Every structure is written in structure tokens, then in C-alpha cells.
Amino acid sequence: MISFNVPPLVGTELDYVKKAIENHKICGDGPFTKECNAWLANRFGAQKVLLTTSGTTALEMAALMCDLEPGDEVILPSFTFSSTATAFVLAGAKLVFVDVRPDTMNIDETKIEAAITDKTKVICAMHYAGVACEMDTIMDIARRHGLKVVEDAAQGVMSTYKGKALGTIGDFGCFSFHETKNYSMGEGGALLIRDPEYNERAEILREKGTNRAKFFRGQVDKYTWVDYGSSYLPSEMNAAYLYAQLLEADRINNDRLASWNAYYEAFAPLEQAGKVELPALPEGCVHNAHMFWLKLHDLEERTAFIQHLKDNGVLAVFHYIPLHSAPAGLKFGVFSGEDVYTTRESERLVRLPLYYGLTEEDRNTVIRSVLSFWK
Ligand SMILES: *Cc1c(COP(=O)(O)O)cnc(C)c1O
């Protein structure tokens, strides 16, 4: 059976984890956390990057930094992972779901403005499959209405929009290093901060509400509890594991892109024949091959397609059940306007095996199995 996902492993992880242990420093914010923060900031041109315990907690930090009050509204797509929503619900917001555009499955930027009310405070843009949302339009809307922009770039590490790294365009960006993502530390993530005025607040939030970071820099002579907060620091062992992978980021990215491109080339004739739809890459978007999806005609055909692949030893999966129709979505949010694409397109979409180290042989088995569905 060809797995749907295999967590990335470059081979040097154990050496770095060993170093973390030998340093006798395994709690958060040690040398490896700092190396990861610096690597991410340099590589992506980010003003400030803070490693977190997950993509979810990076989103929670971002939501807390938006200073939401009860009744405030956050605009987000319904076609996304639950974490995009729960972060804002925990911060007290009401969710306003906006439809997606079918070519990228990202939030439809042309439908955002109609969802804005005098309660709206934030637009959350999730970059599906590592392909950027239309950020120029989104940033322009946010500027004109005085809204903050949070980028859920959990899937977008190493992707760019018009030359800018995803996660660095909005006020806050959130990465995930879960084992299902392109770069991993088991569980982990990072918060990217655009404006330096938020740096201190973020440090306090992730250090249990204390000004400990300032203390360690010698800026205060004792540290104390100054605000609300939590613990968002990953262990040094996890940071060391991630650091090994970041040093191989280009190798991982190129390997994934090779598989993605092979799939795209093999399935382009199916698209031309009207049998499937393939992902679009709008102008200015450079992606990171986070996933390869295609769309069948409807739910019934997709079910048969997934079964066909399974019979041929290939595991393919689908997602997401739209959040607005889920029990919690009904409780915490509303859909703005008409759901033209979110539900319909989510029922047609299927994802193929794609991971670092997928062999050419396995890739060809996937391709043959897909093509044989129409024979
Ligand atoms: C993976 C993912 C998250 C959550 O990341 P974790 O590190 O698993 O907490 C959030 N949003 C999206 C879109 C994701 O794909």
C-alpha cells in the first residue's frame, strides 16, 4: 500500500536532538529554538519569528494579539482546518465564513467586503495547499476598513506571493511543523510578526504572562507577571529536530516539487478531456508542493475513485467537512452570502500521496492507478 503521508526525515535529526540533550537545556527558548527563529526570519525576511508548540497555538497567539472583544467578528473561509476557527473562538470572536474560489480553494477575495460589518476586526487568510490567497486585494480591503490580517500559513512554509514569503504579508503569520506538514518537529509551529510594536506583547504571551524575555536580555532587573498569557514554548528537543530539517529545506522542497510536477504533467490530459480539475497557480504565486489535489465531478464519482485507488494499493484522502455546517460552526459562526462553492467543491476534492522521499516507482504507481480509473 502506498501511504498517503510519510513524515519528513532527513537523517540528521538524531544528531541535533542529541546535542540538545548534551547541552543540558531541553526546556524552551534555548539555542536550538533561537537558531530556528533566526533561520526562519532570515530565510523569509520576517521581522520577528517565535517558535510555538503548534500551528494551532501560533494562531491562538495571533488571535490574542488582535485584542478581540466579545461580539467582534472574524472573517475566514469555511473550507479550512478547525484550528483556523478555534483560535478566534477562544479569543471570544464570532466567526463569519466566506465562500472559496474554486480554482485555488482559497477564500474568495471578491466576497470579503460584503461580509464586513462594524463589528469586523480581522480577516484570516488560509493559504490552501501552500498556494497564496490574493493578498494584494485582501491587504487593501483590510487597510481601507482598519482590519488586522492573520495569515494561516500552516501549509505555506517556503511559498511566496509576488516575491514575499507567505506569513510575512499580514499583521501576523502562522506556520505549522506538525508531522503532516512539509517541515516537522512532531508537533510545533511558529508565529511571524510584521510590526515590531507587537514583539514584546508576543514574548509576554508565550512566557506565561511574564516579562522574562526582557529579564534575560538584561532590560529589567527582575521579572514579574505583567499580563495574561500561556506557555507556547516548544521543548529544545523538538526545536533541534526541526533545525535539522530547516537546514535541508531546499532539498525537501525540490523533492516535493518534482513529485507535484510529475503528477500535474501526467494528469493535464485528463483535465483537457474534462474528466478532472487540477489546482490553479495564479500569477505571482510560487508554491511549495504541500499537497496535490484534483477534483472529480461529484461526491459519488469521488467515492468510486478513492475505492479504485485503494484497490490498486494507493491511499488517497479528502478533506475538509466545511466548518459552517459542522456542529461547532453552527454554534460559533454564520456563513456570509451564498455557499456557491465551499460545500460542492469540498465534496469533489481528493488528495494524492505526496511526501518527501516518495519514490519515482511509487509515484508512477499512483499515476497509473489514477489513469486506469477511466479505462
Ligand atoms: C495543520 C494546520 C493547522 C494546525 O497546525 P498544527 O501544527 O497541527 O496545530 C492550522 N491550519 C491549517 C490550515 C493547517 O493545515
Residue 232 CB contacts under 8 Å (≥ 6 apart), including other chains:
50, 52, 53, 57, 58, 60, 61, 191, 205, 206
Residue identifier of the C-alpha nearest atom 5 of ligand 1: 55
Return the C-alpha cell found at 28.
524552551
The atom number, within ligand 1, closest to the CA of 59 reads 10
DSSP at 279: -
Distance CA 225, CA 249 (A): 38
Distance CA 337, CA 6 (A): 39
Distance CA 228, CA 210 (A): 8
Residue 306 CB contacts under 8 Å (≥ 6 apart), including other chains:
316, 317, 318, 350
Q: Is 265 helix (H, G, I), strand (E, B) or coil?
A: helix
Among candidate residues 70, 96, 22, 88, the one with its CA nearest the CA of residue 337: 96
Residue 181: active-site member:
yes
The atom number, within ligand 1, closest to the CA of 181 reads 1
Question: Which residues approach ligand 1 with their CB closer than 6 A?
Answer: 54-56, 80-81, 83-84, 126, 152, 154-155, 176, 178, 189
pLDDT in the model for residue 213:
87
Inter-CA distances, 239 with 4, 31, 112, Å: 25, 9, 37
Q: At residue 344, does pLDDT exceed 90?
A: yes
Q: Is 160 helix (H, G, I), strand (E, B) or coil?
A: strand
Distance CA 131, CA 75 (A): 19
Distance CA 267, CA 281 (A): 15
Q: In this structure, are residues 220 and 211 in contact, taking their beta carbons and an 8 Å threshold?
A: yes
pLDDT in tens, 178-202: 999 999 999 999 999 999 999 999 9
pLDDT in the model for residue 314:
98
Helices and strands (DSSP H and E) totals, the chain: 13, 13
What does the pLDDT average to over 30-49? Answer: 98
* CATH number, span 13-246: 3.40.640.10
pLDDT in the model for residue 147:
98
Distance from the alpha carbon of residue 56 to the mean position of ligand 1, in angstroms: 6
pLDDT in the model for residue 62:
98
**CA torsion sign, 174 to 179 to 181 to 185?**
positive
- List 66's β-bridge partners, or say none: none
Confidence label for 275 from pLDDT (cuts 50, 70 and 90): very high
- Topology of domain 249-372 in CATH is Aspartate Aminotransferase, domain 1 (3.90.1150)
pLDDT in the model for residue 285:
98
pLDDT in the model for residue 299:
98
pLDDT in the model for residue 205:
95
Among 131, 151, 155, residue to substitute to test ligand 1 (most atoms within 8 Å of Cβ): 155
pLDDT in the model for residue 216:
87
pLDDT in the model for residue 55:
98
Domain ranges of the chain: 13-246, 249-372
What does the pLDDT average to over 36-42? Answer: 98
- List 352's β-bridge partners, or say none: 292
Longest dimension (CA), the chain: 74
